[in-house]
Amino acid sequence: MAESKAKGSANPERHKFPIKSILVTQPQPTTDNSPYLSIADKYGIKVDFRAFIEVEPVPFKEFRKDKVDILSHTAVIFTSRNAVDHFFRICQESKIEMPADMKYFCISDQTAYYLQKYITLRKRKLFVGEKTAKDLFEVIKKHKNEKFLFPCSNIRKDDIPEFLTANKIKHTEAIIYKTVAADLSDLDDVTYDCLAFFSPSGIHSLFINFPDFKQNNTRIAAFGPTTAKAVRDAGLELDIEAPMPNAPSMTGAIEVYIQNQMQEAKK
């Protein structure tokens, strides 16, 4: 990106510069009611979207080398739509039809709802956490005798496998897709006042594409504690951290920052 000379080195005076442009490191929204677009209209800010990571399927031949017997399990844990899509892709390529008594444990209502793309939920046994893996743990504890399959990416959080192991719950981890850095070479001459990140993989992609990235006046926003840690571990200064008690979303946290800037400017 334009300010790419040396790692880190944020300007301590950067907070005095108003945010006029934001790059959201996620795909372009498919609807017109994105809260980011509301911020753009409200404050006259340019907001662009660009996915910093891409998902690649693990080929069926590669999956077979791990010798994962899907039907030897009695329950499946899903933490994302990608996991759902690639799990059923593997099932289709394996010519496996999921048994009616298979249990599904989903991290959120959104993931559980997405399952309807592949199965009829009323005929299956479904268990849903409120939002986080920690919420789902309480549900899993009530089914400790199941043998769980955890389809996931090559890059994933440790919380679920660690919980299953610590509680001596039988489980198998199956890598069915890979998270890789997207090609961002076309952004080489582009500068944004704020970069919004949502996963450690996004930070990794930034430095894969721009190994000499220098923060300068760029504000860095991060969603979630693991992303925030990745920002700091990369030698960057974190300016906007979400969720916050008064701003549970990334857009909310960014707006709080903008409003604080405007108040400081009036003094």
pTM: 0.76
Residue 210's contacts (CB-CB under 8 Å, 6 or more residues apart) are 1, 4, 184, 188
* pLDDT greater than 80 at residue 8: no
Q: Over the stretch 196-245, which tens digit does the pLDDT of each residue have?
A: 999 999 999 999 999 999 999 999 999 998 899 999 999 999 999 999 88
Residues 86 and 39 in one domain: no
Three-class SS string for 165-200? Answer: HHCCCCEEEEEEEEEEECCCHHHCCCCCCEEEECCH
Contact 126, 115 (CB under 8 A): yes
Q: 243 and 221 in one domain?
A: yes
C-alpha to C-alpha distances, 105 to 102, 112, 149, 158, nearest whole angstrom: 10, 8, 10, 17
Q: Residue holding tokens 């996915």?
A: 51
Average pLDDT, the chain: 91
Among 127, 145, 177, the domain boundary falls at: 177
Does some domain include residue 259?
no
Q: How many domains does the chain have?
A: 2
2 has a pLDDT exceeding 50: no
Residues 81 and 103: their CA atoms lie apart, in Å, by 17
Per residue in 89-133, pLDDT (tens digit) is 999 999 999 998 999 999 888 899 999 899 886 656 899 887 677
Same domain assignment for residues 172 and 189: no
Query: For residue 97, how far is the Cα from the chain centroid?
Result: 29
- Tell me the pLDDT tens digit for each residue of 38-51: 999 999 999 999 99
Range of the domain at 132: 56-177
| pLDDT band at 73; cut points 50, 70, 90 | very high
Q: What are the backbone dihedrals phi and psi of residue 153, each rounded to the nearest 5 degrees, phi first?
A: -90, 170
Who wins on pLDDT, 2 or 130? 130
Alpha-carbon gap, residue 45 to 25, rounded angstroms: 16
| Residue that finishes a domain, picked among 177, 207, 224 | 177
| Side-chain-side CA neighbours of residue 215 (13 Å) | 23
Q: What is the CATH number of the domain that holds 77?
A: 3.40.50.10090
Q: Around 62, how many Cα atoms within 13 Å sit in the side-chain half-sphere?
A: 10
8 inside domain:
no
